[in-house]
C-alpha cells in the first residue's frame, strides 16, 4: 500500500488514501466512495491532463496514471468532474427516478423501493420553451393513472433542473 493524495480539479481540499498501485482504476473506483460516476480519472501527458473514459478504466493500473512529485516523495491521483451533471445515471442515483409511486384518487405517494431498472436512457434538452399549457382529458381510471405517472415524472425532473 502506498499513500496517495487525491486532488479533484476545482476542489481546494485534497484527501489521502492508502492504495495499491497494482490495482486497476475500476478497482480503485469501487474501493473509494468519493469517486463516483461524476468523476473522471486524469492522466498527464506533456503538461496537459487527459480524461480516461469509464469504459477503459479496467485497462489502466493506478501506477500508470498517478503523478509523482519531482523529489519522488508524493503520489498524486488527479480527478475531474464531468462537464455536465445531466447524466441520466447520476440523476437517477441522486433522485431515485426509478422508484415507484402509489397512485390513487386520494393523491400520489413516493415509495422507498425501486419499481423498475433504468438502462441506457437519453436526456433530451428541451430548453426553457419545453412546456405547453393545455388541458388533459381522461378516458378511464387507467388512462388517468398513466397520465398522472407521466406528469409526476415531469414534475420531478422540473424540480431537479
pLDDT at residue 105 greater than cutoff 60: yes
In whole angstroms, give the CA distance from residue 106 to residue 111: 15
In whole angstroms, give the CA distance from residue 29 to residue 54: 10
The domain ranges of the chain are 2-81, 88-160
pLDDT the model gives residue 128: 60
Fold classified for 2-81: Ribosomal Protein L25; Chain P (2.40.240)
pLDDT the model gives residue 139: 77
Q: Tens of pLDDT along 79-98?
A: 988 765 566 777 777 778 88
Per-chain mean pLDDT for the chain: 80
DSSP for 33-65, please give it.
TT--TTEEEEEEETTEEEEEPGGGGGG-BHHHH
Greater confidence, 123 or 45?
45
pLDDT at residue 101 greater than cutoff 80: no
Q: Tens of pLDDT along 14-60?
A: 999 999 999 999 999 888 876 777 788 999 888 888 888 888 989 99
3-state SS assignment for residue 140: coil
- What's the half-sphere exposure (Cβ side, CA atoms, 13 Å) at 82? 14
Run of H or E residues at 5: strand 2-8
Amino acid at each position: 500500500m502506498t499513500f496517495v493524495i487525491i486532488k479533484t480539479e476545482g476542489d481546494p481540499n485534497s484527501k489521502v488514501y492508502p492504495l495499491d498501485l497494482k490495482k486497476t482504476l475500476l478497482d480503485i473506483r469501487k474501493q473509494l466512495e468519493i469517486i463516483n460516476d461524476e468523476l473522471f480519472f486524469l492522466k498527464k501527458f506533456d503538461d496537459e491532463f487527459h480524461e480516461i473514459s469509464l469504459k477503459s478504466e479496467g485497462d489502466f493500473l493506478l501506477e500508470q496514471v498517478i503523478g509523482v512529485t519531482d523529489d519522488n516523495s508524493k503520489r498524486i491521483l488527479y480527478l475531474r468532474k464531468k462537464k455536465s451533471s445531466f447524466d441520466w445515471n447520476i440523476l437517477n442515483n441522486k433522485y431515485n427516478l426509478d422508484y415507484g409511486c402509489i397512485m390513487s384518487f386520494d393523491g400520489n405517494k413516493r415509495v422507498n423501493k425501486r419499481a423498475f431498472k433504468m438502462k441506457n436512457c437519453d436526456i433530451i434538452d428541451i430548453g426553457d420553451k419545453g412546456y405547453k399549457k393545455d388541458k388533459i382529458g381522461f378516458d378511464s381510471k387507467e388512462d388517468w393513472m398513466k397520465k398522472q405517472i407521466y406528469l409526476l415524472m415531469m414534475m420531478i425532473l422540473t424540480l431537479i433542473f
